[in-house]
Amino acid sequence: MSQTTHKTRTLIAAIGDEDTITGLLLAGIGDIDTHQRANFFVVDSKTTQEQIEETFTSFTKRKDIAVILINQHVAEDIRGILDEYKAAFPTVLEIPSKDHPYDPSKDSVLKRVQLLFGD
Amino acid sequence: MSEHRTDRQNIDDFMLELFDNIAEYRSIREESSAALRQAFFDLALAKRSAGYRWISPDLYSANAQAIATVAVCENSCEVVGGIYRRDIREIAGPDGSSSDCSDDAVDSEKDALSKRCSNSQKSKAKKKCKASDNPLLWFGMLVPPKLKEAQGGFAASLDHFIRLAQLKRSMQLKQDAIKQSLEAVDA
């Protein structure tokens, strides 16, 4: 089966705390386009829920982003908007942070599987 | 009757594939969590040795260009392959001249670069962009060794994350297929 790859949708975006974003930028995902739009967003104690939602929504509307990585504890703050998000692209993945290790009970992927089996 | 048997067989097949995906997902989650913990630890040590203000968002480059990207498939709506890492040595060399490269991703990066820069400032801008291509250099020329180790750790974690994203999509598709098959059997 031939696969048509989408050459413009290549970026990995990230929403998370400072250490997570620093680490992911070191890994090379950071990009600032010609309109000065960054594909990453640092969440700190002063960041409001509206700002996080606005950033998430703007990332989902961009045509150059393929994957959005978001800290699990940040994802909890915008759980409503995340649960409503059903598009194939960009794919959203929750990742742990330094201070909030991965919690399988809050993983939306596994929760969906549990719903399928009626748990 | 034969149609129902086919639907039930399909459900069984999808279920088995789904269970395989779940097992792989959990396994990669554990691996990535362990790798990430070590990477965060290395980053903390690097910040401690270099000074916290030297490794902070204030030093992120305003001309950052992604060197780690992915490819997506329109037809199947999923990420294909793994992480593609652009070799920053393929972009303009020390004297400003660019090496031959047949790689599509690097060519597209060069095209994007030439569109951003005016003709008169192209060579200057190439040198500016080249310096910021390796994120490690944002934090100075002599970075703590732990920062380089942290970079390796986060790069490895990124590979895990992309695989997890692929598994997530695969599991979503299988769940949808199971639901459809169950509805067909009930009908």
For the residues of B74-134, what is the DSSP string, one character each? TTTTEEEEEEEE--GGGS--TTSPPPP---HHHHHHHHHHHHHS-GGGHHHHHHHHHHHHS
Give me the residue from A29, A88, A95 closest to B66, CB to CB.
A29
Structure token pair of residue B45: 């040590």
What are the structural domains of chain A?
3-117 (3.40.50.10580)
Q: How many CB atoms lie within 10 A of CB A111?
A: 14
Chain B: give the shortest CA distance to residue A31, in Å. 4
- Residue in B147, B156, B151, B155 with CA at minimum distance from that of residue B45: B147
CA distance B135 to A69: 18
Give me the residue from B43, B61, B171 closest to A23, CB to CB.
B43
Q: Is B52 at the interface with chain A, CB within 8 A? A: no
CA distance A67 to A18: 19
Q: How many CB pairs under 8 A join A and B?
A: 160
CA distance B67 to B133: 7
Chain A: give the shortest CA distance to residue B69, in Å. 5
DSSP symbol at A90:
S
Tell me the per-residue pLDDT of A45-62, one tens digit each, with 9 for 90 and over.
999 999 999 999 999 999
Chain B: give the shortest CA distance to residue A53, in Å. 21
B48-51 long-range contacts (CB < 8 A, ≥24 apart) are B49/B144, B49/B146, B50/B139, B50/B140, B50/B143, B50/B144, B50/B147
Tell me the per-residue pLDDT of A4-47, one tens digit each, with 9 for 90 and over.
555 689 999 999 999 999 999 999 999 999 999 999 999 999 99
Q: Which of A25, A68, A111 to mutate to test the interface with B (most CBs of B within 10 A)?
A: A25
Q: What Cα–Cα distance (Å) separates residue B14 from each residue in A39, A117, B60?
A: 35, 13, 45
Reported ipTM? 0.91
Q: Is A69 at the interface with chain B, CB within 8 A? A: yes
pLDDT tens track, chain B, 187 positions: 555 568 788 888 899 999 999 999 999 999 999 999 999 999 999 999 887 777 887 788 888 889 999 988 877 677 777 777 876 544 333 444 443 333 444 444 444 444 444 444 444 434 344 544 788 888 888 888 999 999 999 999 999 999 999 999 999 999 999 988 888 887 7
| Lowest model confidence (mean pLDDT) among A59-68, A103-112, B107-116 | B107-116
CA distance A53 to A41: 11
